[in-house]
Amino acid sequence: MEIKKTTSASLENKSFEFLLLGLVVALGFLFIVFEWSTGVSKTNYVTKELDFTPEEMMPVTFTKPELPPPAAAEPVVRRVISPNIIITNNTTPTADVVIPTDEPEPFVAPVATPEVIDEDPIILIAEVQPSFPGGTKAMYAYLAKNIKYPASLIEAGVQGRVIVSFVVNKDGSIQNVEVVNEDANDKLKAEAIRVVESMPAWSPGQMQGINVRCKFILPVNFRLPS
What structural domains and CATH numbers belong to the chain? 122-222 (3.30.2420.10)
**Of 176, 212, 218, nearest in space to 197 by CA:** 176
Examine the pLDDT at 203 and tell me if it is beyond 90: yes
- What pTM was estimated for this model as a whole? 0.48
Tell me the helix, strand and coil percentages in the chain, rounded to 5: 30, 15, 55
| CA atoms of 175 and 122, how far apart (whole Å) | 11
pLDDT at 45: 44
Mean pLDDT of 117-122: 75
Burial of 177 (0-12, 13-18, 19+ CB in 10 A): middle
pLDDT at 146: 94
Average pLDDT, rounded, for the chain? 75
Strand pairing report for 210-222 and 122-123: parallel
**Of 170, 179, 210, 213, nearest in space to 197 by CA:** 179
pLDDT at 2: 55
Mean pLDDT of 31-37: 72
